[in-house]
């Protein structure tokens, strides 16, 4: 059947007012879900391969790489994300209290700070020692911090909670879209 052959006489036409106020939120949910699924994979890899326990140089490098990926993937949905031209920026920041408990919120806050100060940016307090005279001595830098095993486990659980929350929101949104048609 072609588009012309479909009877749409019982569907009122959509006017310019509808399209000016319409928001495409479903695609953003898919992006957030993808970010959290990536984070969950990175956390699972770190835990499965016990990267916290292995201290060879290669294992430390592998742990650091997966830890950075975990933190960045987890953090993306909480930043001011750009959408298409003319659409407002979006973030899950305001939903944090709906999903995380107090202990989880502390890990969440710590992970976002790690992302902002050490992984996505190079803030001095994350890399340098306060009070050290860098003009007189060879540069002494702090190693980039990784999450310990307990925090990695907790972050994996948190990503699963976010995925569940977003899947419910996606279902609600799809249902409301169905009801409109």
Kindly list the distances between the CA atom of residue 76 and the CA atoms of 72, 93, 112, 127, 160, in Å, as whole numbers in the listed order: 6, 10, 9, 22, 15
Domain membership of residue 107 (yes or no) is yes
- Residue-range definition of the domain harbouring residue 130: 28-180
Q: What is the sign of the dihedral through the CA atoms of 153, 111, 133 and 139?
A: positive
pLDDT 10s digits, 61-92: 999 999 999 999 999 999 888 877 877 788 89
Domain membership of residue 20 (yes or no) is no
Domain membership of residue 22 (yes or no) is no
Domain membership of residue 98 (yes or no) is yes
pTM of this prediction?
0.76
pLDDT 10s digits, 89-133: 888 999 999 999 999 999 999 999 999 887 776 655 555 556 666
Domains: count for the chain: 1
Residue 131 zone, left/alpha/beta (φ > 0; ψ -120 to 50; rest): left
Domain membership of residue 65 (yes or no) is yes
């Amino acid at each position: 059947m072609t588009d012309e052959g479909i009877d749409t006489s019982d569907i009122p036409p959509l006017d310019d007012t509808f399209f000016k106020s319409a928001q495409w939120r479903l695609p953003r949910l898919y992006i957030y879900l993808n970010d959290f699924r990536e984070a969950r994979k990175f956390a699972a890899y770190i835990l499965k391969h016990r990267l916290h326990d292995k201290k060879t140089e290669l294992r430390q490098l592998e742990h650091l790489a997966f830890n950075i990926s975990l933190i960045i993937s987890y953090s993306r949905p909480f930043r001011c994300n750009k959408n298409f031209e003319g659409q407002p920026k979006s973030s899950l920041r305001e939903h944090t209290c709906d999903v995380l408990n107090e202990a989880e919120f502390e890990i969440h806050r710590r992970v976002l700070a790690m992302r902002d100060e050490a992984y996505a940016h190079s803030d001095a307090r994350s890399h340098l020692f306060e009070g050290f005279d860098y003009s007189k001595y060879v540069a002494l830098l702090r190693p980039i911090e990784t999450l310990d095993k307990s925090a990695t486990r907790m972050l994996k659980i948190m990503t699963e909670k976010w995925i569940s929350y977003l899947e419910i929101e996606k279902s609600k949104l799809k249902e409301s879209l169905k009801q409109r048609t």
